[in-house]
Structure 1
Amino acid sequence: MIELVRVNNAALAARLVHMLGQRGIRAELRPEQDGQVVSVAADRFEEARELCQAFLASPDDRRWQEDAWHSNAPADVPRQALFSGGWFRSLGLVTKSGLVLCVLVYLSPFLLGDRLYAALMFPPSLDGLAVQPWRVVTPMLLHMSLLHILFNLLWWCDLGRVIERFQSSFQLLWITLVTAAVSNLAQFYDTGPNFGGLSGVVYGLLGYLWLYGKVNPGAGYQLRKEVVVLMLVWLVICYVGLSGIVANSAHLAGLLSGMAIGTAVGLWRRQRPA
C-alpha cells in the first residue's frame, strides 16, 4: 500500500475511501496525529490520485454520492435495474457463480429428478463427511421453493457484491465456505440432515459486514442500521415460529460466525500498517 493523501476531516477521508472502493480500488484509512492517512494499492495509484484530486476539489458533487444500502449517508444515484444485464454485470465472479449454481441446482429436478439434490444434501451422519467432505457446505445450494431461492439470492447478491467490490473475490469465497460449514453443522445437530438453503451464509455475510464496519470504521463503508434491524427482526420472527419451518440454527450460527470473522478481520486490518 502507498500513501495517497492526508486529510484532516475524518468523515471526508472515510468518504474518499468508500468512493475509491466503489471503483474497485482497495484503499485503507489510518488515523495519525497530523490527520487521516489514506493509502491505496500500488497498481492503481495513478488512477486513485486523479480520483482523489477530483473528489477533494468538489466532495459534494453528485458523482460521489454513496450507495444507499451500504452507507449511513443519503444517496440518490439510481441502482441498476434488478434483472437487467447491467445489474448482472455489476456482480463479482463469486457472487455471479453462487447465483448461477443455486439457480441451476433449483432447476435440476426437471432434468435429473432428485439425484443432484440427494448428492448435495448433508450426509445422514458425520461419518459421511470423511468420504464426501464437500457436503458440509453444498446444502447451501439447495432451495425448496421459489420464494425461498428468491429471498436468499437477492440478499446474497446485495451483500456478496459489497465484499467483492471493497475487499476481494477470495475474501467472499472463504467467508462463504466457513459460514456455510458452521451453519450447516449447527442445523444438522439441531434437526438432522434434511435442510437446505443459502440463508445461513446470508446471515454470515450480514454479520461479517456489520461487525467489520463497527470495529474498522476507517474502511469507509458500513451496513445501514435499517438493514441490520430488518434482518434481526426476521431472525426473531423465524425463531418464534411465525414463518413456518425455518432453519433457525443455521441462521443464528451463520450470523454469529460472520460476526466473529468480521470482528477479527476488522481489527486485524485496522491495526495493520500500510
Structure 2
Amino acid sequence: MIKIKKLYLTHIIILINALICILMFFVDKSFNFNIYTLIRFGAKYNPMVASGQYYRLITPIFLHSDLTHLLFNMYALNILGKNIELIYGKYKFIIIYLTAGIFGSIGSFIFTKSVAVGASGAIFGLFGAYIYLYISKPDVFNIAFLKNLLTVIGINLLFGIIFPNIDNWAHICGLIGGFIVSWSVGIRVEKFLSPKKIPAKILTILLICISLITGISLNQNDWEYNLYKGEEYLKQNKIIKAKEQFIIGLSRNNTVEVFYYYLGHIYLSEGNTKKAIYHFQKAVEINPKFVEAKEILDAIQKNSL
C-alpha cells in the first residue's frame, strides 16, 4: 500500500489566513473590513510602501477584505496548493507562493493606487507553476489539461476586467512571477542550485528589484505620497517639512482641499493670516461641505473685524 505524505504547508497557509481574518473581526466587529483596519494590518497602501514600508508587499498575501474574499481564495489555494506542493516539494512550494505574491503586490503597487489585499496574486503564481510544469514536462499532462488551465486563467482575468474591485494587475504579475520563479527553482526532481537555473534566478531578482524601484519612483511623484508624508511630518511636529510636502502635493494636484486646509493651519501658526484665509477659502471652494475649514475661516474673519 502506497503511503501519501501529509500536506502541511498548504493547510498551514490557509490556517494563517483564517486566524488573521478572525483577529481582524475582533478589531472591526465585522467580516466586511473597513479600509483603516486593512491598512492597520498591513494592506498594500502605495504611499506607505513608497516611504519604505516594504513589508506591505508581503503582508497583503495573508489579508482579505471580507469573509467571501477569504473563502474564495482559500478554496482555490486548497485545490491548487496541494498539487504544487507535491510536484515541487514543500520548500520550493513556499518560495513560489511567496515570490509570486510579491510579484502580484509589486504589480499592484505600480499600476493601481487603491489599497489592496488578498492571496490571489500568489494563487495565480501557482497557475504559473503549472504552466512551467507543462512546458518542462509536456508528457505529464495532455493538451486538454493545458486548455482547461488556460481557460480557468482566462475566465479569472475576465472577471478582473468586468468587476472593477478586482486587482487584475496583481493577478497578471502574480502569474508571470509564478512562472519565472518556478523556472528558477524547478520541480522536485530538479536540483535547486543547478547551473541551468542561474539565469532564471537572476531574472527573478532583477525583475523584483527593477519593478520595485519603478514603483517607488512613480509613487513618490504622486500627490498622495506628498499628502501622506506631510501628515506624518505633522504628527512628528516637523512643520517645515510638512509644509514642503503639502506645497509639492498642491503643485501636482490643486483640486485636493486637504492640502489647502493643512497649509491654512500652517500659515495661521506662522502669523500669516492673509495666506491662511486664502487657503481655507480655497478648501471650502473645492468642497463646500468641508465643515472644519468653514468653522476656522469664520473664526478668523470674526477676529479680524
Could you say which TM-score interval applies, normalised by the shorter chain? 0.5 to 0.7
Aligned with 1:138 (options 33, 52, 59): 59
Aligned partner of 2:199 in structure 1 is none
CA distance, structure 2, for counterparts of residue 211 and residue 125 of structure 1? 34
Aligned with 2:180 (options 260, 266, 272): 260
CA distance, structure 2, for counterparts of residue 194 and residue 106 of structure 1? 17
What runs of 5+ residues in structure 2 fail to find an aligned partner?
Answer: 29-35, 196-305
Compute the displacement of 1:256 (Å).
1.0
Contact map agreement 2:99 2:181 (CA 8 A) in 1: no
Aligned with 1:213 (options 126, 131, 134): 134
**Structure 1 position 246 matched with structure 2 position 166:** yes
Q: How does 1:1-274 map to 2 (within 5 A)?
A: 23-24=4-5, 92-113=7-28, 115=37, 118-123=40-45, 124-129=47-52, 132-192=53-113, 194-217=115-138, 220=140, 224-225=145-146, 226-239=148-161, 242-266=162-186, 269=190
**C-alpha spacing 1:188/1:116, structure 2 compared with 1 (3 Å):** closer
What runs of 5+ residues in structure 1 fail to find an aligned partner?
Answer: 1-19, 25-89
SS at match of 1:102: helix
Give CA-to-partner distance per residue, 1:176-225, whole Å, 9 cap, x none.
1111111101102222250111111111111112222221246x468933
Which amino acid counterpart does residue 11 of structure 2 have in structure 1?
Answer: K
- Structure with greater strand share of residues: 1
**C-alpha spacing 1:110/1:23, structure 2 compared with 1 (3 Å):** closer
**C-alpha spacing 1:221/1:269, structure 2 compared with 1 (3 Å):** farther
**C-alpha spacing 1:216/1:265, structure 2 compared with 1 (3 Å):** farther
CA distance, structure 1, for counterparts of residue 41 and residue 114 of structure 2? 12
* TM-score normalized with structure 1 length: 0.57
SS at match of 2:48: coil
With CA pairs under 8 Å and 6+ residues apart, which has the higher RCO, 1 or 2? 1
**C-alpha spacing 1:183/1:116, structure 2 compared with 1 (3 Å):** closer
- Aligned residue pairs total 183
Which amino acid counterpart does residue 154 of structure 1 have in structure 2?
Answer: Y
Q: Larger Rg: 1 or 2?
A: 2
CA distance, structure 1, for counterparts of residue 24 and residue 185 of structure 2? 39
Contact map agreement 1:139 1:197 (CA 8 A) in 2: yes
Which amino acid counterpart does residue 94 of structure 1 have in structure 2?
Answer: L
Contact map agreement 2:97 2:178 (CA 8 A) in 1: no
CA distance, structure 2, for counterparts of residue 204 and residue 138 of structure 1? 16
Which amino acid counterpart does residue 67 of structure 2 have in structure 1?
Answer: L
Compute the displacement of 1:167 (Å).
2.6
Which amino acid counterpart does residue 42 of structure 2 have in structure 1?
Answer: L
Contact map agreement 1:207 1:257 (CA 8 A) in 2: yes
Compute the displacement of 1:245 (Å).
1.5
CA distance, structure 2, for counterparts of residue 145 and residue 119 of structure 1? 13
Task: Report the RMSD for the aligned CA atoms in angstroms.
Answer: 3.2
Aligned-pair identity in percent equals 23
Compute the displacement of 1:128 (Å).
4.1
Which amino acid counterpart does residue 248 of structure 1 have in structure 2?
Answer: N
CA distance, structure 2, for counterparts of residue 126 and residue 143 of structure 1? 18
* TM-score normalized with structure 2 length: 0.52
- Structure with greater helix share of residues: 2
Give CA-to-partner distance per residue, 1:127-169, whole Å, 9 cap, x none.
444xx44321111112123322122111111111112223321
**C-alpha spacing 1:264/1:213, structure 2 compared with 1 (3 Å):** farther
